[in-house]
Each structure stands twice: as C-alpha cells, then as structure tokens.
Amino acid sequence: MLDRLKQLQNLRGHATREAAANPDFDARLLRVKAWQQQRLRRTYADLAADPRYAKAIAFFLDELYGTKDSAIRDRDLVRMYPTMKRLLPHFAFETVERALELDVLAEEFDQALTRELGGKALDDASYADAFRRVGRRADRIHQVELMQRVGKGLEVVVKKPMIHSALKMLRRPARVAGLGEMQHFHEACFAAFKHMGGADHFLQTIAARETVLIGRILDTHPDPFGIVAEWENFEQ
C-alpha cells in the first residue's frame, strides 16, 4: 500500500513540477477531470436515478472521479496506515491496495490526456483524439477489471460487522488526529455499498459500458460517445 501511495505522491508531484513550467497545466488537468466527471454523470444517469444505486454513483462521482484535491486524503492514508494494518483484516486491506492501484492508473491517464490535449478546446472529438494518442488499451481494460475487483471487495467488506465496528472505532481518533477527510471517505464508501444490498448489477453495468466506450474510441468510431444518449434513458 505504501508503494502505491508513493506512486501517487510522485505522480502528483510531477504534475506540480510541470505546472511550474506550464502555469496553465493544473487548470487544464482540472478541466479534464471535470469533463470526465460530467461524461460519467451522463453515462450512468439511469443508475443515479435509481434509489438503490444513487449513493454509489454519488460516491464514484464525488469521491473517486471528481475534481477534489485528493492530496489531503493521500496524506491522511499514509498517517492512518499503521492503524489500518493493525485493525483491518487482510481482505479489506487488499481492497484498499487495489483501490490505490486504480487511483494511480486514473491519475496517469488524466495527466497524459492533459498533455495530449494541450491548449485545444475540450469536447467529445478532441477528448477522443487525445484518448487514442495516449493509447494503452490493455491498461484501460485493466482499469475496468480493477474497478470490478475493488467493487467486489467492497461488497464483501460491507457484509462484515467487524468492519463497521472498526470504522466507528477509528472515528474519534481520526477526528482528533486531523484525519477527518480520510475517515469521511471510508464512511461514505461503506455507506454507499451497504445501501445497495448487492453490487452485481451496478458493477456489471459500469464494466460493460466502459469497455464499450474504450473500444469505440480506440477503434475510431465516428461518434464514440453517441451511445451515451441511449444509456441516459435506459430503463432497467
């Protein structure tokens, strides 16, 4: 886990150094993240409208794929590492490790897309073009697979009463230690997956749609995001 955190810190440190040479890099990176968040919002509008999945979609959009500065969360996780290693069972600790690997991939892709876009206006066409130039199809598919593994791990985690007890035990120490951001993240994640009462449809839907979009973009479909309009109005 610490190795993944170091990767994230190095990646974000590299972005900071790049911004020093190119003052608009941070703004452009934030623009890419915001664009992707809106794309995801449209792609999963049907799930967001379903009370069963609404909390999980909100968690994904706000906490995982949003525009929040996660540097504080990364710092908190480093500080909480010894406590988490002591309190969390192996399967839960492994899920956090995979989630960090997913975060590393997402950050790599976001920064690479930002570089490829340069100063171009951001729209479906320019995004798809930059996406193709970044390439790395196998890593994109791995990203989707990782998302499923993390989701399935979280589904197991929320079924264990001891995990909820551990989270509650951490609440006061986290607040006192100034680790409220990390504690909020963990509790929001737990609540979202607990509320679903089973994540199979949620995870399968995301995996299927993201795989379709990756293929349409990389295979130079003339309108790769056209299918999103169909999904927006999809009735389960």
Summarised one tens digit per residue, pLDDT across range 77-106 is 776 677 777 766 677 777 778 888 888 898
User: How long a stretch of residues is the chain?
Assistant: 236
pLDDT of residue 7: 78
SS3 category, 92: helix
Q: CA-CA distance, 122 to 130, in Å (whole number)?
A: 10
Is the CB of residue 148 less than 8 Å from the CB of residue 207? Answer: yes
CB of 95 within 8 A of CB of 217?
Answer: no
Helix (H) or strand (E) holding 160: none
Query: Which of these ranges, 119-128, 137-146, 164-173, has the smallest mean pLDDT?
Result: 164-173
0.85 surpassed by pTM: no
Handedness of CA 136, 140, 141, 146 (dihedral sign): positive
The one-character DSSP state at 209 is H
Residue ranges covered by each domain of the chain: 2-232
Q: Encode pLDDT of 142-169 as tens digits.
A: 999 988 988 888 888 777 766 666 666 6
pLDDT in tens, 181-208: 656 666 777 778 888 888 899 999 999 9
